Amino acid sequence: MYPEYYVGQQKQTQTITKITSSYNPVVQDVPRQRLPNENPKDYMLSAYTSLIHVIDITSTSSIYRVDPFAKYLCCWTNIINQAEISAIQERTKWKHPNLICFLFYQDCSDKFAQTKEFRIYYEYLPLDVKQLIEKRSQNNEYVPEEEIWKMIIGLSDALLFLQKKGISHSALTLESIYFDEEYLLYRVQDVSPFRAKAPHLFSNEFQPPENQTNSKLNRFKHDVFGVGMIILSLALLKDCKDIYNQGVLQCDQLEDNLQKLGKLYPGRVENVLRSMVDLDNEKRPDWIEFQQILQQNKEKQIGLSEQQSNIIQQIDKQKCKRNSDLNNNNQENMEIKINSQKGDGLDQKLINLNKRIQETLSKSFSKNLR
């Protein structure tokens, strides 16, 4: 999968401490057999034989391969306090398809050190939204509407999951949301356990206007705006940071982009994204309120689909009726033509018969005169 990473791989020798029973705490010599209907990802993360170092990304981040599988993990090394360890331990119990989860940690500090250095392992996804925009924009390869809709549904559900636990993300960027090519999902990682360690990093890339007026802030509504702008960027295949001038949102340019969106994705996608990037903080929903908007648009879509289905059925019925009428007309025309051909033959026979009668009478009359 990543052949360039196989150069210089090294086996991980330190003991891995897995902090939940979700995954097998024993690193076995031979992978166990996969259970019937077992999720492939869960199987690889519980049946591996060792972790093999692949490459260093930064001085504190590395990529490891789950041997003997083609599954990769990212490892982040840092000094972790007990509160952060507890937060990570709690998060390893979470399971959500659109969340990039922490899997396990490893104490790699010196035995007599006063501070504890840990390696935190989580799933590695190489393709973020920024890279996806660059890749697709080369050929103007716009994302299908259904994929945009699944992105909205998946990310909003993951962040609703966090809101219900009282957690906002607050670090949303084009590089913090990933596309999982294996499962065809858009996924986001919760990095909130490290908010106290690096508060300067916890700022969404796209700030709503209320942040510039120092009005009362709602972190969840901030996240809704941030995700909306990230999805808008992907939908238009452009980085929407260009609508900010020295950090100030240009509302007219935002409206221009939304109008472009409406031409590409009219209907539910445009409606939902307009609610996400609403400039009015009071009207903009949080993730709980956003679910109601999704449901309303889902019902509208179902209604439209039913209307379209009825229209298609009516058109099909009309086509069938026209075809039936056409077939009947063709049948009648064929019968007329056949009858006409029959009539023409009969007339010709009568003419020929009349000629023969006239010839016979003429010959008989001539004999009588002699």
* Average pLDDT score over the chain: 82
Mean pLDDT of 255-276: 96
Cβ–Cβ < 8 Å for 85, 194:
no
Least confident piece of the model among 263-267, 272-276, 294-298, 319-323: 319-323
Regarding whether 142 and 94 lie in a shared domain, the answer is no
Out of 297, 321, 356, pick the residue that ends a domain. 297
In this structure, are 138 and 282 located in the same domain?
yes
Would residue 302 count as lying in a domain? no
Model-level pTM?
Answer: 0.75
As a whole number of angstroms, the distance between CA 201 and CA 178 comes to 18
Q: What is the CATH number of the domain that holds 222?
A: 1.10.510.10
Separation in Å, CA 126 to CA 1, 23, 129, 188: 11, 23, 10, 13
26 and 154 assigned to the same domain: no
* pLDDT recorded at residue 170: 92
Same domain, yes or no, for 120 and 140? no
Examine residue 110 and state whether it is found in any structural domain, yes or no: yes
Write down which residue in 103, 124, 145 finishes a domain.
Answer: 124
Asked if 204 and 222 touch (Cβ cutoff 8 Å), the reply is yes
Q: Is the dihedral of CA 24, 30, 31, 36 positive or negative?
A: negative
Tens of pLDDT along 207-239? 998 876 655 789 999 999 999 999 999 999 999
- Within 10 Å of residue 159's Cβ, how many Cβ atoms? 27
C-alpha–C-alpha distance, residues 222 and 254, integer Å:
16
> Residue 22 class from Cβ within 10 Å (0-12 exposed, 13-18 middle, 19+ buried)?
middle
Asked if residue 83 and residue 145 are part of one domain, the reply reads no
Sign of the four-CA dihedral 352, 353, 354, 357:
positive
pLDDT-based confidence at 347, cuts 50/70/90?
Answer: low
The predicted structure's pLDDT at residue 199: 78
Specify whether the CB–CB gap between 107 and 147 falls below 8 A: no
Q: Residues 169, 236: one domain?
A: yes
For residue 112, name the pLDDT band (cuts at 50, 70, 90).
confident
Mean pLDDT is highest, among 31-35, 308-312, 322-326, for: 31-35
Question: How many domains is the chain built from?
Answer: 2
Assign 284 a pLDDT band (cuts: 50, 70, 90).
Answer: very high
Cα distance between residue 199 and residue 203, in whole Å: 8
**Do residue 236 and residue 221 come from a single domain?**
yes
> What pLDDT score does 24 carry?
40
Q: What integer is the mean pLDDT of 6-22?
A: 42
Distance of alpha carbon 49 from alpha carbon 67, whole angstroms: 6
> 């003419």: which residue's tokens?
351
How big is the chain by its Cα radius of gyration, in Å?
37
Q: What is the pLDDT, as a whole number, of residue 106?
A: 81
Q: Both 159 and 238 in a single domain?
A: yes
DSSP of 136-167, one letter per residue?
Answer: HHTTT-PPPHHHHHHHHHHHHHHHHHHHTTT-
- Of 96, 124, 152, the residue that ends a domain is 124
Whether 339 is in a domain gets the answer no
- Specify which of 1-15, 204-218, 234-248 reaches the highest per-range mean pLDDT: 234-248
Q: Residue 36: give the domain boundaries.
A: 1-124
How many CA atoms lie less than 13 Å away from 81 in the CB half-sphere?
Answer: 6
Distance of CA 210 to the CA centre of its chain: 30
H/E element, 214? none
**Sign (positive or negative) of CA dihedral 68, 74, 79, 85:** negative
pLDDT at 251 over 70: yes
